[in-house]
Structure 1
């Protein structure tokens, strides 16, 4: 993921996220060279943005302080986490219920 591109305010709106609970999921994607990569995501979140509740069918998750290729050292698919701090990035041009969530700090939530 090109995080410098996410920081371009001409392309993306970004919002601070605090105290959000979600369930993490994982899928495996193949690129054009058939290299397999893991993609962490969550689905069906409602987030308050500027006093308005927004529904997101899917958010792609990136973790600032752990290896994105191997976060299963800390996480398991289906696990519930509480995002203490993070940044939500929404593309200004592609208007859909999807986005990217950079997780800065999180804790595990007991079931």
Structure 2
């Protein structure tokens, strides 16, 4: 479910940054579900978001507006680095998902960009 901008969500639009996509699995009503997330948002963005909600965790649930939500692995692999070209980050104190990055557009990065990002962010 995508956030409603009219509710008590606070959101910020940001562009052109790299992040690492991760995945985890959980059971929802005894049905296995996959959840894409990231905890590698740029520090400058994180600082700005923290001013909205001081209790903000660095982890954001990842949703895509332009690919099949049930099958994003057609486009992505866990631990893949992508360049987010356009997105919105929603911070919500009232409802789930509490912290969400809604990616409108991204591109895959080459190996050099990926390696540099991993090195700069101490990601093994």
What TM-score results when the alignment is normalised by the length of structure 2?
Answer: 0.72
If each structure's strand is expressed as a fraction of its own residues, which one has the higher value?
A: 1
If each structure's helix is expressed as a fraction of its own residues, which one has the higher value?
A: 2
Are 2:22 and 1:25 aligned?
Answer: yes
Moved over 6 A (4+): none
- Matched with 1:101 is 101
- Matched with 1:36 is 32
- Matched with 2:89 is 88
> Deviations 1:20-48 (Å, cap 9, x if unpaired)?
2100000111112x111110000142243
> Deviations 1:47-89 (Å, cap 9, x if unpaired)?
437x847474200000111111111111000100011001111
Structure 1 segments unaligned to the other structure (5+ residues): none
Distance 2:27 2:49 in 1: 34
Structure 2 segments unaligned to the other structure (5+ residues): 51-55, 115-124
Q: SS in structure 1 opposite 2:76?
A: coil
The root-mean-square deviation of aligned C-alpha atoms, in Å, is 2.3
Distance 2:58 2:77 in 1: 21
Contact 1:37 1:69 in 2 (8 A): no
Aligned length: 103
Q: Could you tell me how far 1:10 is from its partner in structure 2?
A: 3.5
- Matched with 2:67 is 66
